[in-house]
């Protein structure tokens, strides 16, 4: 029996899909997964990147989709790595980020969720302030072992049980869900 989905999450990142699915399940939205490498334009704007990826994903799959693009913006590094977070993670990783930092460790995560179907293209953002830890802590993917959310003393990787209730991705998906369920 074929599963019925309301829409599809298009990404090459299984971790992002599983987080998004769990969050959208809580809003009653059934999310399928289309694993796909999408071309990512070089831009200083997460929103521009997300829109381009969403259009490309819809053109490729011809189904209602969402994509997510996000970035880690570190204050003392003038917002770096920002929209280049994925590339920076692949090249220098968390250890490289930690080596770049001195005293000011303020940072924020930003997530853009973009929905696209035949006639609608809509984006939603979520932001979460925090700090970068002095060392990697806990087991997790991406920047989770070094990002400490505001009002916490543990990294996302150490406190994985409630990440989906406060993350930048959760905030963007909540805005999307409120819109999607009432559109």
Average the pLDDT over 124-145 and give the result.
94
Confidence of residue 160 (pLDDT cuts 50, 70, 90): low
DSSP 8-state class, residue 53: H
Query: pLDDT value at position 1?
Result: 42
* Amino acid 20: pLDDT: 96
Catalytic residue among 25, 48, 69, 125: 69
Reported as a pLDDT band with limits 50, 70 and 90, residue 163 is confident
- Report which of 157, 105, 112, 140 is spatially closest to residue 20, judged by C-alpha positions: 112
Residue 179 in contact with residue 122, Cβ under 8 Å?
Answer: yes
**How far apart (Å, rounded) are the C-alpha atoms in residues 18 and 172?**
15
pLDDT tens sequence across 80-129:
999 999 999 999 999 999 999 988 999 999 999 999 999 999 999 999 99
Residues 15, 142: contact at Cβ < 8 Å? yes
- pLDDT tens column, 4-59: 899 999 999 999 999 999 999 999 999 999 999 888 888 999 999 999 999 999 99
Is 69 among the residues known to form the active site?
A: yes
What pLDDT sits at residue 2? 52
Sorted by where each starts, the structural domains of the chain and their CATH numbers stand as: 7-180 (3.90.950.10)
Q: What is the mean pLDDT of the chain?
A: 93
Q: Tell me 101's DSSP state.
A: -
The separation between CA 2 and the C-alpha centre of its own chain, rounded to angstroms, equals 28
pTM: 0.92
């Amino acid at each position: 029996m074929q599963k019925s989905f309301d829409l599809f999450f298009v990404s090459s990142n299984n971790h992002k899909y599983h987080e998004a699915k769990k969050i959208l399940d809580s809003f009653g939205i059934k999310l399928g997964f289309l694993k796909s490498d999408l071309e990512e334009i070089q831009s200083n704007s997460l929103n521009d990147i997300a829109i381009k990826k969403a259009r490309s994903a819809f053109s490729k799959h011809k189904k209602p989709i969402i994509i997510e693009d996000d970035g880690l913006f570190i204050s003392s590094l003038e917002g770096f790595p920002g929209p280049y977070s994925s590339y920076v993670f692949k090249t220098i990783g968390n250890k490289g980020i930690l080596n770049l930092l001195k005293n000011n460790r303020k940072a924020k995560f930003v997530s853009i969720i973009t929905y696209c179907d035949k006639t609608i293209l809509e984006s939603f953002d979520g932001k979460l302030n925090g700090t970068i830890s002095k060392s990697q802590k806990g087991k997790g993917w991406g920047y989770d072992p070094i990002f400490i959310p505001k009002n916490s003393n543990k990294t996302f990787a150490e406190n994985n049980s409630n990440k989906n209730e406060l993350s930048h991705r959760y905030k963007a998906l909540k805005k999307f869900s409120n819109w999607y369920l009432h559109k």
